[in-house]
């Protein structure tokens, strides 16, 4: 995969976060995408559930801002450092994203701190997941 494909896909990701255009997210996710959540032990697999998770998290996060990005040597993965608020709780985290050769997301892992921010996110996402699974 060329660095250009990753960069282009990442530009689309940033545009989607900014505009909240979920059509972009739908294009970016590979059918077999795997999402690793900071609140769940087992990963979520498949485009439908990952689309649900990411589109809801975007709605829940307030004052979401990316600060820095780091690329792996093979240029297929990027780590994005961010900050946000959830229910008056500040949090910092990283998104670790791996792209395939088509520039689609195949792995997405999130790590968050501190525990209070993670718990606030878990409560909000738990309520939405209950509706999703109903």
- DSSP labels for 29-41? EEEEEEEE-SS-S
Contact 100, 1 (CB under 8 A): yes
Q: Which residue has the tokens 């701190």?
A: 113
Measured N-to-C along each axis, helices 47-60 and 115-133 cross at an angle, to the nearest 10 degrees, of 130
Domain 3-129 has CATH 3.10.450.50: yes
pLDDT digits (tens, 9 = 90+) for 35-89: 999 988 899 999 999 999 999 999 999 999 999 999 999 989 999 999 999 999 9
Whether residue 133 is predicted with pLDDT greater than 90 in this model: the reply is no
- What are the residue boundaries of the structural domains of the chain, listed by start? 3-129
- DSSP H helices, 2-133, are 3-19, 22-28, 47-60, 115-133
Query: Is the model's pTM score more than 0.85?
Result: yes
């Amino acid at each position: 995969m060329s660095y250009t494909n990753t960069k282009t896909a990442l530009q689309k990701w940033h545009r989607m976060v900014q505009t909240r255009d979920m059509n972009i997210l739908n294009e970016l996710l590979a059918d077999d995408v795997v999402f690793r959540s900071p609140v769940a032990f087992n990963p979520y697999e498949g485009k439908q559930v990952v689309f649900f998770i990411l589109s809801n998290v975007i709605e829940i996060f307030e004052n979401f801002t990316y600060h820095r990005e780091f690329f792996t040597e093979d240029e297929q993965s990027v780590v994005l450092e961010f900050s946000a608020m959830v229910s008056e709780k500040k949090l910092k985290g990283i998104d670790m994203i791996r792209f395939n050769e088509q520039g689609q997301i195949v792995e997405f892992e999130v790590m968050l701190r501190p525990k209070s921010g993670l718990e606030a996110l878990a409560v909000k996402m738990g309520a939405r997941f209950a509706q999703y699974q109903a």
